[in-house]
A and B are shown apart, each in its own frame.
Chain A
Amino acid sequence: MPDAIRMTFNVDGDDFAAAGTASSEVKRALKQLGMPPELVKRAAICMYEGEINMVIHADGGVASVAIRPGSVEIELRDRGPGIPDLELAMQEGYSTASEQARNLGFGAGMGLPNMKRYADELKIDTKIGVGTTVTMVLRDRTR
């Protein structure tokens, strides 16, 4: 049996319209693997929030996903501006989203809180001027 299914996506920072396509591919793969619906749902939300954040706050990046029988690991790595105050950024409703992003319906300041709520593990490495790496692990809670 293969150890994991790995998927990598270059998430384009210039293409707002394409944001979210990586998460829908991951979701499709999870469904095809017969992962439990509750895990598919949480993983799809976490991946989507992370992917959008890379597009609207960090000018794109690379998303890597490793799918194993009982878990999904998502890594989102960008070379954006970094997050100056992580505690503040984690608060519900805090957002620095641009006017353009807000017009598209983003910027409610709910992305990171949702990731925290749905992922079983969330780790954020961020350095001003260097970039941000968000790692999430989601486990099958039915097992």
Chain B
Amino acid sequence: MERKLFHSVTLNLDKCKGCTTCIKHCPTEAIRVRFGKAYIIEDRCIDCGQCIRVCPHRAKSAVCDSFESLKNYRLTIALPAPSLYGQFNNLSDIGLVLTGLLRIGFDRVFEVAAAAEYLSDFTRRELLKNNSLPHPTISSACPACVRLIKHRFPELANHVLPFVAPVELAAVLARSKAVAETGLKPEEIGVFFISPCPAKVTASRLPIGISARVMDGVLSMTDVYTRLLPVLKTIGEPEITPQAGLTGIGWSVSGGEGSALLNGRYLAVDGIENVIKILEDLEDEKLPELDFIELNACTQGCVGGCLAVENPYVAKTRIRGLMKYLPVSRNKASALQDGTGKIQWQGSLESESRWALDSDMGAAMEKLLRINELANSLPGLDCGSCGAPTCRALAEDVVLGHASEEDCIFRMRERMQILSGGGEADADAYLPPPFRKCEEDRK
């Protein structure tokens, strides 16, 4: 069970104008407009960041930790996601970005890409053993996708790779290395991830598969980018040598994790809508024989995260450029001490269906009947005026007690007509022009 609700994706009430853009784009139908403002149904949100991207008023944002919190530690370590490297124009050497991180205030850097290589190597070996892992195996690296499976695809939960994400492994390795080298206590060290997305912020506070938090904070990639940009120009020679090869860096784009398994039978899906379709197909056994399925909620993979600065396609091309001339990998799982203990989850993913209308099946049937009936009686315009993304969603809200039938402006119109005792034209006065029915108004 999730211990409590936390979401990085949050709404700024002052900026929200109550338009219906976000409710229409949310892949899990987790947003409604109520009293002129958007409202996020926390239970359903998977922190994919779609609403942040589409909000025309920039009223949705990802809550991250502040740079100021670096001050709370005697030693700080930056964990840059490899997608960070794709944000800079004409970057010739990843070492420059790593050095830049020291200049803006970190004491050390540990590349998430290096941890990704340990994971790729470890996973490849486990897949070859071919007994312990579910078939096909679904990647667990994108927390938005993992949460989606947990809530909506319970049948697939046991297919999820029961391994930590690269950033989680990086945090553990970076901290223990620093403890060994400096003699500081673990809690005196601040480990900060530089994240392309809100889903990773949420996952850092409510980790899945491991029992405790391993990072001390998550910083927004946009924030770090803004600080890095002026500094980069001043660096002559990089002071840090990159610790990852092309395999680790490739994890930042869709297909990178899958191809690193060196097994042709993988499928890489990016974009949350595509992910949902593929999971439906997988559940219905419509996919061909596969060993591995890589899922990324963001277009093109993590370079498409909503906290990244650069256009995902541009960033992807840059990542490809940086991958050239790099060794395939610099990190072998055999070099890890207690690799299994550090990588494997304590169990498999527990599903937690958020779809059931009621825990009692009879009650659920009754509710579904009423929903079907009501949905059929609504106009089917999916206009969003009621604050729900579709007529069916309003019907569900009504039956579950979260909305009223008269939130539908057509229901309202009927009631007004009865109250005023007038005809269609009178009632039409209560509707905006696109929904009026009277011919006279059609000019």
Are A and B a genuine interacting pair, yes or no? yes
Identify the A interface with B (CB < 8 A): 1-2, 4-5, 7, 23-24, 27, 29, 31-35, 37-38, 40-41, 44-45, 48, 67, 69, 114
Q: How many angstroms from the CA of A34 to the CA of B356 in the assembled complex? A: 5
Contact A32 B364 (CB under 8 A): yes
Q: How many angstroms from the CA of A41 to the CA of B156 in the assembled complex? A: 10
Contact B366 A34 (CB under 8 A): no
Contact B283 A67 (CB under 8 A): no
Identify the B interface with A (CB < 8 A): 152, 154-155, 280, 283-286, 351, 353, 355-359, 361-362, 364-366, 368-369, 372
Contact B365 A33 (CB under 8 A): yes
Q: How many angstroms from the CA of A7 to the CA of B369 in the assembled complex? A: 10
Extra inter-chain contacts (13) besides given A32-B357, A34-B355, A48-B286, CB under 8 Å: A1-B365, A2-B366, A5-B365, A5-B372, A31-B152, A31-B353, A33-B357, A33-B361, A34-B359, A37-B154, A40-B155, A67-B365, A114-B285
Closest to B370 in A: A2
Closest CB in chain B relative to A53 CB, distance in Å:
14
Contact A32 B356 (CB under 8 A): yes
Contact B155 A5 (CB under 8 A): no
Contact A69 B362 (CB under 8 A): yes
A-B contact pairs, 16 of them (CB 8 A): A1-B365, A1-B366, A5-B365, A7-B372, A23-B284, A32-B368, A33-B357, A33-B368, A34-B353, A34-B355, A34-B356, A34-B357, A37-B351, A41-B155, A44-B284, A45-B285
Closest CB in chain B relative to A110 CB, distance in Å:
10
Which residues in A have their C-beta under 8 angstroms from that of B283? 27, 41, 44
Greatest chain B CB density within 10 A among A4, A23, A37, A69 is at A37
Closest to B392 in A: A28
Q: How many angstroms from the CA of A1 to the CA of B362 in the assembled complex? A: 6
Closest to A34 in B: B356
Q: Pick the residue among B154, B351, B356, B365 that contacts A2 (CB under 8 A).
A: B365
Which residues in A have their C-beta under 8 angstroms from that of B152? 31
Closest CB in chain A relative to B275 CB, distance in Å:
16
Contact B155 A69 (CB under 8 A): no
Q: How many angstroms from the CA of A31 to the CA of B355 in the assembled complex? A: 6
Contact A33 B364 (CB under 8 A): yes
Closest CB in chain A relative to B333 CB, distance in Å:
33
Q: How many angstroms from the CA of A80 to the CA of B395 in the assembled complex? A: 37
Which residues in A have their C-beta under 8 angstroms from that of B155? 37-38, 40-41
Q: How many angstroms from the CA of A3 to the CA of B117 in the assembled complex? A: 56
Closest to B288 in A: A105
Closest CB in chain B relative to A133 CB, distance in Å:
23
Q: How many angstroms from the CA of A29 to the CA of B280 in the assembled complex? A: 14
Q: How many angstroms from the CA of A27 to the CA of B280 in the assembled complex? A: 10
Which residues in A have their C-beta under 8 angstroms from that of B361? 33-35, 69
Q: How many angstroms from the CA of A2 to the CA of B351 in the assembled complex? A: 28
Q: How many angstroms from the CA of A24 to the CA of B366 in the assembled complex? A: 20
Greatest chain B CB density within 10 A among A5, A7, A23, A67 is at A5
Q: How many angstroms from the CA of A133 to the CA of B280 in the assembled complex? A: 27
Closest CB in chain A relative to B138 CB, distance in Å:
15
Contact A34 B358 (CB under 8 A): yes
Q: How many angstroms from the CA of A31 to the CA of B356 in the assembled complex? A: 6
Contact B369 A32 (CB under 8 A): no
Closest CB in chain A relative to B374 CB, distance in Å:
14
Which residues in B have their C-beta under 8 angstroms from that of A5? 365, 368-369, 372
Q: Pick the residue among B154, B285, B355 that contacts A32 (CB under 8 A).
A: B355
Which residues in A have their C-beta under 8 angstroms from that of B358? 34
Which residues in B have their C-beta under 8 angstroms from that of A40? 155
Greatest chain B CB density within 10 A among A5, A34, A41, A69 is at A34
Contact B369 A2 (CB under 8 A): yes
Which residues in A have their C-beta under 8 angstroms from that of B357? 32-34
Across the A-B interface, give the 3 residue pairs with the lowest CB-CB distance, nearest first: A34-B356, A37-B155, A1-B362
